[in-house]
């Protein structure tokens, strides 16, 4: 895949990286996704939309019970797809719940399903006039996807979408640890060097 991007900022000690893709911006930051002020934040949910630990637990705790009520009304979400609820008590107006694959060695379509989780989330955002969105690192916690491979898929999918569509202006990856942020930064540099 060939695409053009421009490095806008890169802090020396690995705290933040920002690039432009077409008219849009892609950022990597370390932080807590529940505190983001983007119009939408993405939840790494399960297919029952039943809540859980990790990002999912944090979002439901911070957003309040209304999000789970809306999830129950929707009913569920297959792996690789996405659904949308309000942000309830969060700063974000919407939560986009997507379901990444459980990693079982890589031979069960995990890569395609992970790419699809990102792409479906972005399409749903664009369809709801969302201009700014924050993603966590989907599938790399409880679902066990090795983070370097997951980061590459996440970043390739987002960059390809931003190149094709001007609908979303800001995509922010919010990484929970310095180590995860570093992996995403390294993968983004490699993508740019391809
Ligand atoms: N903000 C940003 N990232 C976070 C936060 C947070 N508040 N909390 C955890 N993370 C990070 C984790 O450190 C991990 O790197 O999000 C990444 C994804 O981990 P999980 O939340 O475990 O998501 P996933 O691997 O997709 O597993 C989904 O976990 O709790 C359940 O209901 C959820 O069954 C589903 C499964």
Residue 153 sits in a domain whose CATH number is 3.40.220.10
The two three-digit tokens of residue 105, written as one number: 């060695």
Instruction: For residue 148, report the phi and psi dihedrals to the nearest 5 degrees.
Output: -65, -45
The residues, ordered by sequence, that sit 6+ positions from 18 with a Cβ below 8 Å of its Cβ are: 7, 8, 9, 10, 25, 26, 27, 28
- CA 79 from centroid of its chain's CA atoms: 14
The answer to whether 84 and 128 have CB atoms below 8 angstroms apart is yes
The answer to whether 40 and 172 have CB atoms below 8 angstroms apart is no
pLDDT at 35: 97
Indicate if the alpha-carbon torsion angle 71, 126, 144, 60 is positive or negative. Answer: negative
To the query of whether residue 32 is one of the catalytic residues in this protein, the response is no
pLDDT in tens, 118-171: 999 999 999 999 999 999 999 999 999 999 999 999 999 999 999 999 999 999
- Compute the mean pLDDT over every residue in the chain, rounded to the nearest whole number: 93
Atom 34 (ligand 1) nearest CA? 46
Question: Which one is catalytic: 32, 56, 186, 194?
Answer: 56
The residues, ordered by sequence, that sit 6+ positions from 153 with a Cβ below 8 Å of its Cβ are: 111, 114, 115, 118
Average pLDDT on 183-191 reads 93
**Is the pLDDT at 13 greater than 60, yes or no?**
no
Domain residues for 29? 4-193
Number of helices (H), then strands (E), in the chain: 5, 8
The two three-digit tokens of residue 179, written as one number: 């180590």
> Using CB atoms within 10 A of its CB, is residue 75 exposed (0-12), middle (13-18) or buried (19+)?
exposed
pLDDT at 15: 57
Domain count along the chain:
1
pLDDT in tens, 68-102: 999 999 999 999 999 999 999 999 999 999 999 99
CA of 55 to the centre of ligand 1 (A): 4
- Taking residue 17's Cβ as centre, other Cβ atoms within 10 Å add up to 20
Nearest-atom index, ligand 1, CA of 32: 1
- Taking residue 43's Cβ as centre, other Cβ atoms within 10 Å add up to 33
| Mutation choice for ligand 1 from 54, 118, 121, CB with most ligand atoms inside 8 A | 54
């Amino acid at each position: 895949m060939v695409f053009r991007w421009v490095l806008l900022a890169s802090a020396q000690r690995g705290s933040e990286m920002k690039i432009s893709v077409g008219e849009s911006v892609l950022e990597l930051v370390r932080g807590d996704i529940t505190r983001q002020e983007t119009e939408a934040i993405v939840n790494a949910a399960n297919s029952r939309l039943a809540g859980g630990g990790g990002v999912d637990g944090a979002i439901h705790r911070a957003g309040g019970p209304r999000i789970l009520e809306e999830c129950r009304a929707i009913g569920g979400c297959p792996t690789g797809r996405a659904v949308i609820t309000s942000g309830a008590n969060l700063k974000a107006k919407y939560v986009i719940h997507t379901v990444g694959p459980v990693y079982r060695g890589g031979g069960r379509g995990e890569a395609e399903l992970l790419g699809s989780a990102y792409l479906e989330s972005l399409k749903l955002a664009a369809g709801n006039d969302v201009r700014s969105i924050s993603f966590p690192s989907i599938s790399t916690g409880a679902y066990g996807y090795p983070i370097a491979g997951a980061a590459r898929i996440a970043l390739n999918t987002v960059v390809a979408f931003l190149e094709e569509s001007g609908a979303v202006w800001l995509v922010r990856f919010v990484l929970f640890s310095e180590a995860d942020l570093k992996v995403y930064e390294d993968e983004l540099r490699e993508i740019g060097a391809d």
